[in-house]
Amino acid sequence: MPFKALNLHPALIANIIKLGYEQPMPIQSQAIPIVLAGKDVLGIAKTGSGKTASFVLPILNKLLERSPSEKSRQPKVLVLVPTRELAIQVGNVFWDLSQELPQTIKSKAVHGGVSINPQMKAIYGLDVLIATPGRLLDLEGSNAVDLSKVQILVLDEADKMLNMGFQKEMQEIFEFLPTKRQNLLFSATLSKALDGIKRVMLTDPEVIQIADKVEDVSLINLSGFFVSDERKGPLLRHLIKEKDMKQVLVFTSSGYKADNVAYKLTKNGIDALSIHGKKSQSQRTEALEQFKAGELQVLVATDLISRGIDINALPYVINYELPRSPKDFVHRVGRTGRADKEGLAITFVTREETHHFKVILKKMKRYMEVVDSKEMVF
Summarize as ranges the residues that interact with ligand AMP (CB under 6 A).
21, 23-25, 28, 47-53, 310, 312, 338-339
Residue type, position 369, single letter: E
Nearest to 225, CA basis, from 92, 110, 368, 370: 370
- CB nearer to ligand AMP: pick between 270 and 339: 339
- Closest CB 237 distance from ligand AMP, rounded Å: 29
Which residues are CB-contacts of 191 (< 8 A; sequence separation ≥ 6)? 159, 162
- Closest CB 48 distance from ligand AMP, rounded Å: 5
Whole-Å CA distances, 137 to 74, 256, 345: 14, 33, 40
- Closest CB 54 distance from ligand AMP, rounded Å: 7
Angle at 298 between CA 296 and CA 303, to 5 degrees: 120
- Closest CB 42 distance from ligand AMP, rounded Å: 16
- Closest CB 51 distance from ligand AMP, rounded Å: 5
- CB nearer to ligand AMP: pick between 24 and 323: 24
- CB nearer to ligand AMP: pick between 25 and 248: 25
Q: Is the dihedral of CA 88, 212, 196, 277 positive or negative?
A: negative
In this structure, the dihedral spanned by the alpha carbons of residues 117, 122, 124 and 130, taken in order and rounded to 10 degrees, is: -110
Nearest to 357, CA basis, from 230, 222, 219: 222
- Closest CB 146 distance from ligand AMP, rounded Å: 29
Rounded to an integer, what distance in angstroms lies between the CA atom of residue 162 and that of residue 181? 22
- Closest CB 214 distance from ligand AMP, rounded Å: 9
- CB nearer to ligand AMP: pick between 25 and 300: 25
Rounded to an integer, what distance in angstroms lies between the CA atom of residue 252 and that of residue 56? 33
Whole-Å CA distances, 139 to 73, 192, 347: 11, 31, 44
